[in-house]
Structure 1
Amino acid sequence: MRHAILTALTCLSLIHPLVAATEPQSKPNIILMMGDDHGWEETGYNGHTHIKTPVLDEMAATGLRFDRFYATHPSCSPTRAAFLTGRHPNRMGTFAPGWSIRPEEITIAQLLSNVGYRCAHFGKWHIGAVKKTSPVSPGAMGFHEWLSHDNFFELNPALSRNGADPEIFQGESSEILIAETIRFIDRARSTGQPFFTVVWFGSPHEPYSGLPADLALYDDLPALYSKEVKLTSNETGEQVTRSQGEVLRERYAEITAMDRAIGTLRKHLANQGLRDNTLVLYCGDNGTSPDAALGLPHRGVKGQVYEGGILVPGVIEWPARIPQPINTKFRASTSDLLPTLCALIDLPLPTRPIDGIDLSPVIDNNKTLTQRPSPLYFWNYNTSRFANLNPKPNPYIDPELQEGTSPLVKLQRGKATRDFTNWHHPSLNEQDFQGPRSIIHNGFKLVIHDKKTQPELFNLDADPAEKQNLIDSEPDKAAELQQQLRTWQKSVLNSLTGADYES
């Protein structure tokens, strides 16, 4: 059945570009960009005291600005899996960084390529190996072209083009990705095809590095933030302790360079007459990392299900559809991208559980939609579940095909690349429901840690910093949310067993 579906999709992808080349383009172009570890507070438009992000600030001022945009997960690989599929990453065993997606998943790129879009991925992949033989490479998951890295990268990155051996690209990494994106756009435009481009920056993930002019913008920071933090050394690839002010100087330089590269892309779209009919999104993949977090205005950091771990910048530009600025407090998520694009292009959703919702009413500024109709769920699956299993479950993908090829600075068990894993899940039991998790619905948020820690309940509308635990004063609300969360977890675990892939 899987083979038949892939054959049909391949045939469609061969037919539709010919149609697109001979018919006037009516579908919007789509560019989805995401920063790496870029938290909500780290933009000028969200009130940061130091960071200079004039391009994102302009996008927020003229387009659709989400004040409450969430990464689906508090860490990167899981959010990326949700970004492409509209499904919670635990449904496909993408539990944490370094856990791959599964080949049976259906991505936005696969759906759009089959209605005539030319699709490309640039930058960080991190949901499987990028080499051509990988069954979960960008090419295998629907992208016609890719210049990608298995994980993150700094200046002068090593990137793999269409699955070939990585090569070094000299320069600032965000500029390199945008230059490649522009060349791809121009090629797609020459064929008359609409384009779908995913750009996943390597910035501002640690270890940090910046151009001299960008670093100079933040020369005052070392004197302002003297506490010591741990991060990766660019020299050794191992953990090192440094002054937070020095670290922030480099991190903010990366953010400013990324912002400038986005500006280069926007100028190109305008100069080529493409801006009006191109949907451009920017968001982060999780909250700010512990080395850079300043503790305000939200509680928590990357890796945690508090707001500081999951709230990220979120802006959309599309002048043809968003002619006037919109500022919304509607709670949106990276899981909403696939169902939203399906609605905008008039495509049916895949016939399997989808956790995201269609945001087109928000894009159209429909003020009757003020609350999310279904909850947002966050779940950091406890992967220690696998530590004591004997025998180990069967790998979902041949481990050789999960080996990364693109080098990076940070060492893991002495290795300067990233390999991936995914398992055929063992028989379900109560352990599978564990791990930090939360649910947000109608302004209330329930946070559950483990059996030894009391759950927490917050009213986010009144207490966005999550300071006042209402668990004792609102027991009925807490019980209601806990039951909803448990019911949803059962659905996710059913998917995890592979039930969604059965014909």
Structure 2
Amino acid sequence: MVSQGAEATLAAKPARPNIILCMTDDQGWGDMSCNGLKRIQTPALDAMAANGLRFNRFYAQHPSCSPTRASVMTGRHPYRMGCYWPGMTLRIGEMTVAQAVKQAGYSTAHFGKWHLSGGKPGAGRPLPADEPLGPGKFGFDEWFSVSNWFDLDWTFSHNGKLEKVPGDGSDAIVGEALEFIGKNAKAETPFLAVIWFGSPHVPLQPRAEDLAAAGGSEYYGELIGVDRSMGTLRKGLRDLGIADDTIIWYTSDNGAWEDENAAPDAFGSNGDLHGHKGELWEGGIRVPGLIEWPARIKAPVRTDVVGCSIDIYPTIVDLLDLDVPGQVKPLDGVSLVPLIDGTMQERPRPIGFWHHGGSSLEGGPLAWMENRFKLFRPKPGDYQLYDLIADPNETKDLAAERPDDVARLKAALEAWQESVRRSNDGADYRQAG
């Protein structure tokens, strides 16, 4: 296996590769066989890892759902657009990846959990055609979507038309996505398909046969369904003859919940990482990360280069060599095209993390992550420093030993935080306009 991507054998760039962005709901870093999972096997995800680029350190931009989804859409920290918490919305003024690729002639579609249009919390409701902040308002030609999580025998909205699909929800959205993909493959039209699973989020309702295969674990029963649907997706691309020139980027919206009051692994695993969903410890934000693109990544690559959900948008824009009119700036993400090409040895820019506190945004935890060091501020005035290369489980606080690094990283974090505040106040839209 090639390490770091430095010597991966690469082919010439397809002019306009097809793009599929897959995201699970609450899947922990340890919830793939290739990352050490023993409870079940994930053969489709393992095949992706064996055939593409596998991240040792890929991060969700936020430890919860909607904010991370906003970061995928825009390449920006979600607090720049006021998306602080699950169920909060995108702002109309943002530029999304769907809007960007349409400028290059792409057909676009969203499948599954949207969770960026606000509304009442709870089970996913079908999104009507006139949903004010639905996928259709953000560049998607087609959608087969609901507002939040979904499970068995669910009713989806296909561009506003209600369609109930029997069986597992993961199978349902991938089946619908393959209809869209096949239509565009026949027309030789490049496409962007965003497939956002509702699993393995609670409430956990796997198929009976998946529950049995998972030894009675509802969580891993749902993950079996996700893995099966990913296998269906990959086979569908091969059957259509377009697998080589199609990028599949797979990740999760945050770490697993790992309820300490429940049975072990009842809600997933973050491996040996400290923390869980809802926290800025590694277990809350480090998630599975895979990129498969046979035409460009010709040998398996396992990389220690740091990637993040905010990198998806700028990577796609760079791949397609787009100059996006009205681009809202700043972007927090970086293009990972050099990593795909085997020339990136480390991340060129740090990542800022910010999570809403129990009573206020300003009192919430913050983190500033370089390739090696992570400055973590769990509460105002408390700055901790961790060497994530030597100590990925964050067991030893180095702040007292390395005050110069703390001061340097703190200054950069505060400058970034001020930039996010300006964005949140609307400064970026005035500049873009």
User: TM-score under structure 1 normalisation?
Assistant: 0.77
CA distance 1:32–1:294, shift in 2 (3 Å): closer
Query: How far apart in 2 are the matches of 1:296 and 1:341?
Result: 30
Aligned residue among 241, 252, 255 for 2:223: 255
**SS at the partner of 2:36?**
coil
Matched, 1:435 2:412: no
Shift of 1:484: 0.5
In the alignment, the residues of structure 2 paired with residue 177 and residue 193 of structure 1 have an alpha-carbon distance, to the nearest angstrom, of 21
Deviates more, 1:184-193 or 1:270-279: 184-193
With over 3 angstroms needed to count, the CA separation of the structure-2 counterparts of 1:296 and 1:63, relative to structure 1, is closer
Question: 1:327 — aligned with what?
Answer: 302
Select which of 381, 395, 403 maps to 2:356: 381
Aligned pairs for 1:18-57 within 5 A: 26-57=15-46
- Which amino acid letter does the alignment assign opposite residue 360 of structure 1? V
* Structure 2 match to 1:92: 81
Which structure ranks higher in relative contact order (CA pairs < 8 Å, sequence separation ≥ 6)? 2
Aligned to 2:140: 143
* Match in the other structure for 1:281: 249
Within the candidate set 155, 159, 165, 1:158 is matched to 155
Partner of 1:209: 205
For residues 44 and 349 of structure 2, the distance between their equivalents in structure 1, rounded to whole angstroms, comes to: 33
Deviation at 1:189, TM superposition (A): 2.0
Larger Rg: 1
Deviations 1:225-245 (A, max 9, x none): xxxxxxxxxxxxxxxxxxxxx
Q: What code does the residue aligned with 1:281 have? A: W
Of 90, 111, 135, the match for 1:101: 90
Distance 1:159 1:138 in 2: 13
User: Which of residues 110, 113, 116 is equivalent to 1:127?
Assistant: 116
Structure 1 residue 98, shift from structure 2 partner? 1.1
Deviation at 1:466, TM superposition (A): 0.3
Which position in structure 1 is the counterpart of 2:427? 499
Post-superposition offset of 1:159: 1.3
Q: Does 1:357 align with 2:325?
A: no
Contact 1:64 1:315 in 2 (8 A): yes
CA deviation map 1:296-330 (0-9, x unaligned): 41000001000000011010111111011111010
Deviation at 1:499, TM superposition (A): 1.1
* Aligned equivalent of 1:446: 375
CA contact 2:30–2:269 (8 Å) conserved in 1: no
The superposition leaves residues 342-387 of structure 1 with CA deviations (integer Å, 9 ceiling, x where unpaired) of 1100102524110000000111111xx22211101110133734xx
Aligned counterpart, 2:124: none
Structure 1 runs not aligned, ≥5 long: 1-24, 220-245, 386-431
Q: Name the SS of the counterpart of 1:315 in structure 2.
A: strand
Q: Per-residue deviation at 1:113?
A: 1.3
Q: Secondary structure at the match of 2:408?
A: helix
Shift of 1:68: 0.5
Match of 2:289 in 1: 314
Please state how far the C-alpha of 1:212 moved relative to its aligned partner: 2.1
Q: Distance in 2 between matches of 1:48 and 1:455?
A: 33
- 1:86-122 deviation per Cα after TM superposition (whole angstroms, max 9, x unaligned): 0000000000101111111110000111221010000
* Percentage of matched positions with identical amino acids: 44
- Aligned partner of residue 340 in structure 1, secondary structure: helix
Q: Which amino acid aligns with 2:30?
A: E
Match of 1:462 in 2: 390
Is the contact made by 1:95 and 1:383 (CA closer than 8 Å) also made in structure 2?
A: no
Gaps of 5+ in 2: 1-13, 119-126, 260-266
Q: Quick one: distance in 2 between partners of 1:178 and 1:370?
A: 34
Structure 2: distance between partners of 1:346 and 1:293:
39
CA drift of 1:293 comes to 4.8
- Cα deviation for residue 500 of structure 1 reads 1.0
Instruction: Please report the TM-score for the alignment, with normalisation by the length of structure 2.
Output: 0.90
Among 158, 168, 174, the alignment partner of 1:178 is: 174
Deviations 1:385-419 (A, max 9, x none): 4xxxxxxxxxxxxxxxxxxxxxxxxxxxxxxxxxx
Classify the secondary structure of the residue corresponding to 2:410: helix
Note the alpha carbon deviations across 1:130-166, whole angstroms, 9 max, x for none.
Answer: 33323321000000000101010111122111134x4
Query: Residue 128 of structure 2 contacts residue 159 of structure 2 at CA under 8 Å; is this kept in 1?
Result: yes
- Output the CA distance in 2 between the equivalents of 1:251 and 1:433: 34
Q: Secondary structure at the match of 1:198?
A: strand
Q: CA deviation at 1:294?
A: 5.1
Matched, 1:290 2:258: yes
SS of 1:438 mapped into structure 2: strand
Partner of 2:60: 71
RMSD of Structure 2 on Structure 1 (CA): 1.5
The answer to whether the Cα contact below 8 Å between 1:298 and 1:308 also exists between their aligned partners in 2 is: yes
C-alpha displacement of 1:186: 1.2
Matched, 1:487 2:415: yes
Moved over 6 A (4+): none
Contact persistence 1:62–1:325 (CA under 8 A):
yes
Q: Deviations over 1:179-238 (max 9, x none)?
A: 00110011112322111100000110011111222212232xxxxxxxxxxxxxxxxxxx
In structure 2, relative to structure 1, the CA distance for the partners of 1:294 and 1:62 (3 Å cut) is: closer
Aligned to 1:242: none
